[in-house]
Structure 1
Amino acid sequence: MGNRPKASAYALPALGLLLALMFHLHPELAPGGRGLLVGIFSVLAVALLCGSAFSTVSHADVVAARLREPFGTLLLTFSVTIIEVSIMASMMLNGENNPTLARESVLSVLMIVNTGIVGLCLLLGSIKHREQTIQQQGVSGYLSAMIALGVMLLILPSETRAGATGTFSPVQLAYMSMIALALYAAFLYMQTVRHREHFATQPEGHAEPKPKARAFLLALFMLLASLAAVVSLSRNVAETFEHFLGQFQLEDPDAVIGALVATLILLPEGISAVRAAARNHLQHSLNIALGSALATVSLTIPAMAFISVIIGRPMVLGLDNEDRTMLLLTFVLAILSFGTGRTNALNGVVHLIVFCVYVMLLFLP
C-alpha cells in the first residue's frame, strides 16, 4: 500500500480523545472559559482536531482501497453525516431552542462543499494537470438529486400556504422527510448497483493493490477513532469560536457558528477531496465532496425533523432571500462547471469567488 499511515495518524486521534475526556472530567478547563490555562488547552484542542482530521484521511484511504469505490467513499460520507447529526442534536438539546439550527447547518455544508471545497479541487487539480475529466453522468446524478432536495427542503417551505414563517406543517415535514430518504435510497442504488461505472474513479486494471485484512481492520478501527476524536473536540472548539465571536456585534451569529461547525465537520472529507484532485483523480474527489453534500441534505434534515418532533421544538427550514439567492447561484454554477465533462482553472476560480462572497455575507448580511 503506497500511502501507509504515519505514526502521527495513530497518536493524534488518541491524544484528541484523551483531551476530550479531560474536558469532560474537568469542565473548568474546557474551551470557552477564562484564564491562561484554558487558552492553552483551547489552542491544543484546535491543533488536535486538525491532526485527527488528517489522520481520518490517511486511514480512510486504506479502507477505501480495500472496499473499492464507491463503498469506501460512502463509508466516510456516512460517518461524517452521523457526526453532524449527533453534534446538531446535542446543540439542539442544550440551552434555548434554536429553530434555524438545521437550516443553517445544511446550508453551510452545501455552500462550503459546492463553492469552497469543489472550487479548491478544481483550481489545484487544473494548475497541476491543466484540464481534468469527469464521469459526466455520475456528477449529473449528484447534482440532480442535490438540487431537487435543496429546493424542496430549503426554499419550498417559505412558499407553501402553511409556510409563512419558513416552516412545513407536521404532515408536510413528515412527507418531505420520506421523500428525501426515498430519493437518496434511489441514488445509492444507482451508484452502487445499477450504474456503478458512472462513478468509477479510475480505469480497471489501474487500481492500487488491496491492503491485507489485518491492515484493513486496523485502518477501519483507527478511522472510527479519528472520527470520534473529531466529533469529541468539535463541540469544544465550536464553544471557543462562539465565545470569541461573542465579543463582536455580529448581525447573524447563528449563521457564523453554523458555518464554523460545518467547516470542522467537513475537514476530513475536504482534505481527502483536495488530495484526490491533486493526484488527478477528480472523479474520486467529486464523489467525496458532492457525496457529503447530498448525504447532508438527504439524511440530516429527516433526522433533525424526527428529533424536533420527539422533543417538541419547532424547526424553521425556509431560507432568507440572500441565502436563497446564493444557493440558487451555486446550483447554476455547478451545472455549468460540470456540463462539458472537462474542467479547468477558471471553473475553480469562479467557485472560490462565490465562496468568498458567501463568507462576506456571513459577517455582513
Structure 2
Amino acid sequence: MNAQSLPRIAFHAPLKPVDHPVPSGDRQMARLILRALEATGPVEVASSLRVYDGTGDAALQARLTAAAGGERERLLSLYAAAPERRPSLWLSYHVYYKAPDLIGPHIARSLGIPYVVVEATRARKRLTGPWSAFAAAAEAAIESADLVLCVSARDRQAVEAYGPPGQRVAMLPPFLDLPASVERTGPDSPPRLLTVAMMRPGDKLASYRLLAESLGILADQPWTLDIVGDGPAAAEVSALFAPFGPRVTLHGACAPTDLAGRYRAADLLVWPGLNEAFGMVYLEAQAHGLPVLAVDNAGTGTVIRDGVGGRLTGPAPQDFAAVLAGLLADSSALRSLGRTARAYVEAHHGLPAAAERLRHLLTALTRQVPA
C-alpha cells in the first residue's frame, strides 16, 4: 500500500481531548487512537474543544454549541486557505449524549468526506430531559456516520438496532501500547492487592463501596491494598477504607511511570468496574502480567476473559469476596492467571493490530467515497 492511498485524517475527541490535563481512560484511549491513526497515514488533531456537559445544564450546552459553531467556521476557513491540510476523512472518538460531536458531521458534509465515529453510545431515552439537545445532536452525529467502530458488543447492539439501513458498523477492540514484559515472582505474603481508579460520584464510588464491603467480609484473611486515584469523591473513598487501618494505603494520583511500578509490585488488581465501558486499567494490569478481578458486565467482559488473565464475578459483595478469597488462598492460581494475562493482551489488544485494522477499514472507506 503506497502513501498516496492513505487518507489524511482529521481527529477530534469531544469528551476528553488528548491534551486535557486530567488523566483518565478516555484521554488515554484518545491518545492511543491518535497513535494508531498516525501509523495509518497523516493525521491532525482538528480541534481541542471539549464538548461535555456532565450535569444537564442547558446554558452550558448553549455555550458549547456556540463555541462549536466558531470551530466549524475556523476549520472551513483553514482548509480553504491551506488545501494541503484539507482532510480526506474525519474521525471522532467517543460520542454520546453528554459529549456529542458538534463539529465533525458538519465539516464532513461541507467537504464531502467520510465521517467515522469510534465508540458511539446511543441513548434514545435521553432525547427528553435535561440533555435533550445534546442527546439529539449525538444521535444525529452517530446516524450520519459512514462507519461506526464499536469497542464493546453492548454498544454495537444499540448502534445496529437504531442505525440507518446500510450503515457500516465494525468492532475495534480496546487496545494499548504494550510495555516491556517482566518476570514476576509473586505472590507476596500477605498478597498485595491494587486498585487504580478515579474517585467520582456515581458508578466509580459505587465500585469503591462494593470493594470495601467485599474486603470487610475478608477482614480475617491476610491481604494489603494500595489504592491509586483521586477526584471529587476522594473523601468518601477515604472514609470507606478507614476501618481497615494500615492495611489500606491511599496514594492519590500517580504518574504513568510510577503506575507501572505499582502494577509490577502487586499480586492482583481488584476493581469491580460497575458499568465500565471497558476499563483501560484492566488491559494495563494484564499487560504487566498482573491478573485482574472485576464484576462481570458487558464492558469488563470486553477486556477480561474469565479464567484467562483474570476472573469475573457476580455483582454482589458476597460474589466478589468469594472469588477473591479463593485467589488469596491459591497462590498457584494467581501465578497462572498472571502468566496468561500478558499473552491474552498481546494476542487481542495490542496497538500494532489495532493500527492495521484501522488502516484496512479507513482506506477501504475513502476509496468508496468520491473526493
TM-score normalised by L of structure 2: 0.29
Structure with the higher helix share, 1 or 2: 1
Structure exhibiting the larger radius of gyration computed from Cα positions? 2
TM-score normalised by L of structure 1: 0.29
Greater relative contact order (Cα < 8 A, sep 6+) = 1
